Structure 1
Amino acid sequence: MAFLNQIRLSLLRPSKCIWRVALVIVLLLPPAWLAASPLAGALKDAQLRGTSTFRYLGLPIYDAKLFTPRGGPFSWNEDFGLQLTYRKSLKQKALVQSTLDEIERQGNKAPSQTQLEQCFQAVSKGDSYLAISEGPNQVDFWRNGNKTCALSSLGIKRAFMSIFLGDDTRSANFTRQLKGQ
C-alpha cells in the first residue's frame, strides 16, 4: 500500500521539464485580450497605445482603449482600433442619438440613423464595442466579439472616430490619455 501512495504522489508532482515547457508555451501565446479579439485579425501588429475613462458629470460611462500598429503614435493616416467597455447600461436609442449628435456637433457628415441602429444595440455594464478602421472610408464594428456592421462612406473613419480622438472632443484630457500623450 505504501508503494501505491508513493506512485500517486510522484504522479501529482510535475517535473522541472514540464514547468519549462509550460512557461515557453505561455510566453509564445499572444495576450489573451488580443487572441480572443477580432483586433488580431483585422489590424496588423495591433498593440495598446493608450487608455482612458470617459466621465459625464463625474460618473464613469465607459473605459476606452486605443490600439495602433506596434503601439506607435496615433495617426489618422494609419488604421487603428478603438474599444469601449461600458460601465453602465445604455439603451440603443441613447447610443445612436449621442453618436449622431457628436458627429454633427463636430461638423462632420453623419451616417443615417438606420445605419447606426444596425451597428449599435443596447449595452449592459461590461459590454464592449470595438471599432476598427479600414482605410479612410470604412469602420467595422464588433459587440462583445461579434461583428455587428461595417460603415462605409467617404471619410467615415474621421467622422466617427473624431468623437473620441478629434481636436474638438468633449474631454481634451480623455483624448490625450487615450492617445498615450
Structure 2
Amino acid sequence: MAFLKKIRPSMWPPNKSTLRAALLSIALLSSGGAVASPLSNELSDPKLLGSSTFRFLGLPVYDAKLFTPAGAAFNWTEDFGLQLTYRKNLAQKALVESTLDEMARQGNPAPTKAQLEACFQAVSKGDSYLAISEGPNKVGFWRNGAQTCTLTNTGIKKSFMSIFLGDNTRSASFTRQLKGQ
C-alpha cells in the first residue's frame, strides 16, 4: 500500500464521498440494487426458482432464469418471469421465426409475425429479454430493462412460455433445471 501512496497520492486515502459514490454505483448496477426492476414491479416477491443454459449443437445460446412469487414451485396458474440473457448475437428475424416455429411445433396458437416483430429486436451478446406473465392471456416483454411490448392473446402465457417450460421443449434437462427440479 505504501507503493500506491508514492505513485498515486491523489487516490490515497479515499475520502468518504468517494467511497459513498462507489458504493452507490455498485448498488445501482447490481441486480439487487436500489433501482426497481420490471420483475419486482410486476411480480409479487419474485425469487429465482431455477436457471439453465440452452445449447444448440453443444454451443451456448442463452442463459435462462425462472422467477416465481417467493420462489414457489412452478405452476401454470401462477404468474412468473422468465429472463433470457444471450451469449451470442442474433438477428430479429431469427428470434421471431424461431419463436413462431417452436410455437407451431408444439401445436400452440401464436401471435402474428408483426406482433412478435414489435416485441423482439436483434440481440447482442449480453442482452437480456424478460417475459412476465399477467394472468393466462397477457405477457409483457422487456429488453435490457426497457419494455418493448405486451402480448394479449387468449392463452398466450402457456403458448409462448411452453417453448421453455412446456412438456415438449427442445431440451428436457434444460426445462427441469429451469424449473428447479
Q: Could you list the runs of 5+ residues in structure 2 that have no partner in the other structure?
A: 1-12
> Percent of aligned pairs with the same residue?
68
**1:136·1:155 contact (CA, 8 Å) conserved in 2?**
yes
Superposition TM-score, scaled by structure 2 size? 0.83
Q: Compared with structure 1, are the counterparts of its residues 118 and 12 closer, same or farther at alpha carbon in structure 2 (3 Å cutoff)?
A: closer
**Separation (CA, whole Å) in 2 of partners of 1:114 and 1:177:** 32
Q: 1:33 aligns with which of 31, 49, 53?
A: 31
**Separation (CA, whole Å) in 1 of partners of 2:15 and 2:119:** 51
Which residue does the alignment assign to 1:92? Answer: 92
Deviations 1:1-35 (A, max 9, x none): xxxxxxxxxx9798xxxxxxx9xxx9xx9x94245
**Separation (CA, whole Å) in 2 of partners of 1:110 and 1:12:** 56
Structure 1 segment 70-109 matched on structure 2, within 5 A: 70-109=70-109
**Separation (CA, whole Å) in 1 of partners of 2:14 and 2:107:** 65
**1:90·1:124 contact (CA, 8 Å) conserved in 2?**
yes
**Larger Rg: 1 or 2?**
1
**1:139·1:156 contact (CA, 8 Å) conserved in 2?**
yes
**Separation (CA, whole Å) in 2 of partners of 1:144 and 1:74:** 24
Q: Could you list the runs of 5+ residues in structure 1 that have no partner in the other structure?
A: 1-10, 15-21
Say whether residues 1:125 and 2:125 are aligned partners.
yes
**Separation (CA, whole Å) in 2 of partners of 1:57 and 1:177:** 19
Which residue does the alignment assign to 2:3? Answer: none
Say whether residues 1:176 and 2:176 are aligned partners.
yes
Q: Give, as a single letter, the amino acid of the residue that structure 1 aligns with 2:83.
A: Q
Superposition TM-score, scaled by structure 1 size? 0.83
